[in-house]
Amino acid sequence: MKTLLITAALIGLAACNTSLSATTQNADTRSRPHANAGPAVYIVNLHDGDTVTAPFRVVFGLYGYGIAPAGVDKPKTGHHHLLIDTELSAEERAYAIPSDDQHRHFGKGQTETVVDLPAGDHTLQLMLGNYQHIPLKDVAPSKPITIHVK
Ligand SMILES: [Cu+2]
C-alpha cells in the first residue's frame, strides 16, 4: 500500500514537471527575458504581430524586481505602466510618467488589465515606475509590440 501511494505521488510529480517545463519553455521562447538578464518587465500573454478582439487582457510580467503600490518607497520595487500608441524619450524617462489614456498607471500593484481599443494596429509597451511614477532605470521596459485589433 505504501509503495502504491509513493508511486502515485511520483507519477503526480512527473505530470506536474512535464506541464511546468512546457509552460516555462513556452514563456522563455516567446516573451520572458533570459534568466541571466537584469530586471525587466514583459507582456506575458501578447506578442508582436498578434491579432486580438477588443476588449482584451494584458498580463504583466516582471523579472528581478518586486511590485509595490504607488507612494510606497521600498528598494527594488515599482508599479506597472502600460504605454499605448506612444513612447517616452530618454529625456522624458527622467520625469514622472504622464497619466492619461495612453499612459496607464497600475498604482495599486495590479499585474494585469483589460484594454479596449478601436480596430486597427496599436503598440503596447510596459514600463516599471518607482513610487513617484518615474521610470526605473534599472528595469528594462518591454520591447514595444504591435498588435492588430480586429
Ligand atoms: Cu504610476
Structure confidence by residue, pLDDT tens digits, 20-40: 333 444 444 455 555 667 899
* Residue among 128, 83, 124, 90 nearest 104 (CA): 83
13 CA distance to ligand 1 centroid (A)? 41
CATH superfamily of this structure's domain 40-149: Immunoglobulins (2.60.40.10)
Domain boundaries along the sequence of the chain:
1-30, 40-149
Q: How far does the centroid of ligand 1 lie from the alpha carbon of residue 92, in Å?
A: 14
Residue 48 has pLDDT above 50, yes or no: yes
Give the pLDDT confidence score for residue 32 in this predicted structure.
56
Calculate how far, in angstroms, residue 18's C-alpha sits from the geometric centre of ligand 1.
38
| CA distances, 122 to each of 48, 50, 86 (Å) | 10, 11, 9
Q: Is pLDDT at 9 greater than 50 in this prediction?
A: no
Give me the count of residues in the chain.
150
Check residue 11 and give its pLDDT.
42
Q: Is 61 helix (H, G, I), strand (E, B) or coil?
A: strand
The alpha carbon of 57 and the centre of ligand 1 are apart by a number of angstroms equal to: 19
Q: Which amino acid appears at position 88 of this protein?
A: L
Those residues whose beta carbon sits under 5 angstroms from the ion ligand 1 are: 105, 129, 133
- Residue 61's DSSP bridge partners are 42
The reported pTM is: 0.78
